Amino acid sequence: DFQALRPHLDEIIDDLDENALVTPFMTHILNGYDQWQSDDDGKIGPYISRYMEQTFGSAVNRSLQDHLFDRYPDAGGNPYLLSEAVERDILSRLHQDAFPMFLCNPAFDLSDPTVTYEQSQILSPSTAPAVQSAASAFRQANSAYVVYQTRYHNRISVIRCFSGVPLYACGALWMWKHAYDNMDEPYIHLYAHTGRGMDGSRDWYTFLPDPVPVSCTPHRSPDQEALLDLYRRGEEAGIIGTNHRDSLVLFETPPLVLPDYGPEDFWKDHVFQFVPFDAARTALRQRLNDFCSHIPVQEEHPLKDDGDRRLGNAVVAQVRQDHFLRFPVLQQILREELEKLRTLQEALQRLDAIGEELSRYRPDLEDFFDMLFYGMLDCTDSMGQPAYNAKTSRILFRYTNQDGLPDCQLLTREGDPDLPYSRFFPFYQAFLSYHALPEASPVRQEMQFLLQQRRAAPLPPESTPILSQLKEAWNPQSIQTMGYLLCDLPTPQEREDVRYFYTQLVEHLQTFTSPC
């Protein structure tokens, strides 16, 4: 640290007048036109440096000892006093600041003579007697040092050397291990094909144990239980299993691409397409079976499959789990395969739900229409008068409850925020309310009981005016004029569902009133 040199140079510059400072420099620059006009820093920099060396050479080329006298004016030019100052201020500080040339764990004591041995060096310029004297004095107080004179006249160096430092004292060791473990293929250096086995795939890695099994150091793996649960789920799903060579592997399948089926995919011209639906469900079931059977397999990742079986299956299982716990790449592959399995299962569940909904939807639709035609549903307008057309504002089912008291089940009411179709499509809203009733609910069971009685008896007289109003209000022409109302529905599926309902209403009405 020779910061004292700068003030000395500043004094030289301050003593120069403007002409003495600027004119020689400009003359030097103009004389070197061919140097700086090229705009090449590689030429301009050295050209200016030559001028600085010529102008300030006497200050720059002074000996180290001269600069130290400037730095320590209290020495008064006395080499002995300067030597004491160098030993006290410079060598002691360099001794404290010098560290081994690797990242040492701060918890490790390098100065413990029972563990390490120190043999350090002080490099002193041969042209500075006061510095040499300071180095010799410092060496007497610190026997681990050896003093060397060097030809470098402008520097003092301290090099501390220790032997016997154990590897674990290297603070960078765990940093290196972390970076190594995060490689795509850690422990690849253990692979060395030996020609063993029929296909030559067996290598030394098969016979070498992992350096530190995870089960031996569980405190270093806080997520060990979660990873073991992941491993168990992989075994239960068959993603971890034995291949045709009876070797334990992790099966990886190609990327999964599935169609996102919805109910709208199986309706055409207001008719549910059973053939495409059954084909889609069969194909999805086959894909799920193929996945569970590992067809096709993109890659088989070998898992550690050693351990003396004479020690019991628990030892073999522990070896396998330790191998899996050590490799994040294997863990990620297993997560992705489990996600593929979940995606397949959920896609099949959605198709099954569509089929189950349809199996309930059509019978419920027929029952609702019959209850409407038999006059079991009380349909009124806003004035409370019977209405079976677009003016219908409320539909309810009246019955006698289990206590023998009159009761009613509201199916739709215009303006009810929980019944979004009640204003423009009251019959459709009433059907949705009926369809949502649980099979075991007393109201639904009462509806089914009364409907069976009505179907077994002749058509009651009150049905005649109801059927007459319904036929007048609902026919193919009215379905066509409903188009502007359907356009206000937010989704194509809703528009299709409402249109299908009223189309079925017209068809069932015609069938119900047919003389045949």
pLDDT tens, position by position, 235-270: 999 999 888 888 888 999 999 999 888 887 887 765
Q: Is the dihedral of CA 20, 21, 26, 28 positive or negative?
A: positive
Q: CA nearest 140: which of 124, 125, 122, 159?
A: 122
| Mean pLDDT value of segment 276-284 | 88
Q: Which residues contact 396 (CB under 8 A, 6 or more apart)?
A: 377, 378, 408, 409, 410, 411
Token readout for 123 is: 């490099």
% of the chain beyond a pLDDT of 90: 23
Rounded Cα gap, residues 118 and 139, in angstroms:
13
Tokens 């001028």 locate to: 51
pLDDT-based confidence at 12, cuts 50/70/90?
Answer: low
Distances (CA, A) of 210 to 206, 233, 248, 316, 320: 10, 24, 17, 14, 11
pLDDT value for 318? 81
Q: What is the mean pLDDT of residues 153-163?
A: 83
Return the H-helix or E-strand segment holding 394: strand 394-400
Q: What is the pLDDT of residue 160?
A: 85
Identify the band that residue 307 occupies on the pLDDT scale cut at 50, 70 and 90.
low
Q: Which of 92-106, 142-156, 281-295 has the lowest mean pLDDT?
A: 92-106
Q: Tell me, what's the pLDDT at 208?
A: 47
**Better pLDDT: 387 or 270:** 387
Confidence of residue 176 (pLDDT cuts 50, 70, 90): confident
Q: Position 29: which residue type?
A: I
Q: Are strands 145-150 and 120-125 parallel, antiparallel or unpaired?
A: parallel
Residue pLDDT, tens place only, 177-213: 788 788 776 665 555 444 444 444 444 444 444 455 6
Choice between 267 and 515, residue whose per-residue pLDDT is larger = 267
Q: How many residues does the chain have?
A: 516
In the predicted model, what is the mean pLDDT of the chain? 81
What are the strands of the beta sheet with 248-252, ordered from one edge? 240-242, 248-252, 299-302
Residue 21 pLDDT > 70? no
| DSSP structure string for 97-154 | H---SS-B-TTS-TT-TTT-EE-EEEEEETT-HHHHHHHHHHHHH-TTEEEEEES-TT
Report, as an integer, the average pLDDT of 483-505: 87
Q: How sure is the predictor about 95, in pLDDT bands with cuts at 50, 70 and 90?
A: confident
Residue 372 — very low, low, confident or very high, per pLDDT cuts 50/70/90?
very high
Indicate the DSSP class of residue 399: E
- Which pLDDT value is given to residue 413? 93
**Do 367 and 444 form a contact (C-beta atoms < 8 A)?**
no
* Alpha-carbon distance values, 215 to 24, 224, 225, 329 (Å): 78, 9, 11, 19
Provide mean pLDDT across the span 216-238: 82
